[in-house]
């Protein structure tokens, strides 16, 4: 039997990311790694959103991906590379806040991090040592991403962004599951 104790430990950012990234395990990771940073195709976009969803997309979700993202391949490819996050999200106003932010990440994965309930929770726990869930309203989620999460993420500059995404995602799940004080 493996028993684990919890002892708070102050660490450097790189050590934190290395530790929590190693805990991350996603059996659908190949859907992300195969398609991210590649030219957009219908199949690739569906696979990226399947990865984000964590399972096969339901029929309504497949329709949403098709309608809100696949049909806009030409539009996303025509955007100036310097487009900021707020302008991008205004260009793609439908499809749900988290998936629109993921679409932003898919467009420029090295520039725009992934954002969801788990990384939001991780951010708040790191900054304030308390649990806070992501807002329910899409407009508030977008606002939190733009004004709170992007500046937070910048503090980890110099650390591999994908490693950081994995670490924060897993850490956010961990603190919720373990209900730390």
The per-residue pLDDT for range 1-11, each reduced to its tens digit, is 766 666 677 88
Write out residues in the chain with pLDDT < 70, as ranges.
2-7, 179-181
- Answer whether residue 147 is part of any domain: yes
Q: Per the domain annotation, does 148 fall within a domain?
A: yes
Q: Report yes or no on 7 lying in a domain.
A: no
> Do 51 and 28 touch, CB atoms closer than 8 A?
yes
Question: How far is the C-alpha of 50 from the C-alpha of 53, rounded, in Å?
Answer: 5
Instruction: Classify residue 94: in a domain, yes or no.
Output: yes
Query: Burial level of 45, CB count in 10 A (0-12/13-18/19+)?
Result: buried
Question: Does residue 47 belong to any structural domain of this protein?
Answer: yes
Evaluate whether residue 53 is within a structural domain: yes
Give the pLDDT confidence of 11-54 residue by residue, as tens digits. 899 999 999 999 999 999 999 999 999 999 999 999 999 999 99
Q: Is residue 146 domain-resident?
A: yes
- Domain membership of residue 66 (yes or no) is yes
User: Which DSSP symbol is given to 36?
Assistant: T
Domain membership of residue 63 as a residue range: 13-178
What is the number of structural domains in the chain? 1
Q: What are phi and psi of 52, to 5 degrees?
A: -60, -40
How many whole angstroms separate alpha carbon 98 and alpha carbon 38?
21
């Amino acid at each position: 039997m493996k028993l684990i104790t919890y002892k708070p430990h102050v660490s450097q950012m790189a050590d934190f990311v290395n530790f929590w990234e190693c805990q991350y395990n996603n059996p659908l990771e190949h859907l992300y790694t195969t398609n991210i940073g590649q030219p957009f195709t219908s199949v690739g976009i569906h696979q990226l959103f399947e990865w984000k969803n964590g399972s096969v997309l339901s029929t309504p979700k497949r329709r949403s991906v098709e309608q809100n993202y696949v049909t806009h391949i030409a539009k996303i490819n025509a955007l100036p590379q310097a487009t900021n996050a707020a302008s991008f999200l205004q260009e793609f106003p439908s499809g749900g806040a988290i998936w629109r932010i993921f679409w932003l990440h898919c467009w420029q994965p090295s520039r725009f991090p992934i954002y969801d309930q788990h990384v939001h929770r991780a951010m708040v726990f790191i900054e304030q040592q308390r649990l806070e869930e992501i807002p329910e309203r899409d407009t508030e989620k977008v606002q939190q991403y733009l004004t709170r999460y992007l500046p937070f993420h910048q503090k980890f500059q110099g650390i591999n962004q994908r490693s950081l995404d994995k670490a924060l995602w897993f850490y956010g799940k961990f603190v919720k599951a373990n209900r730390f004080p």
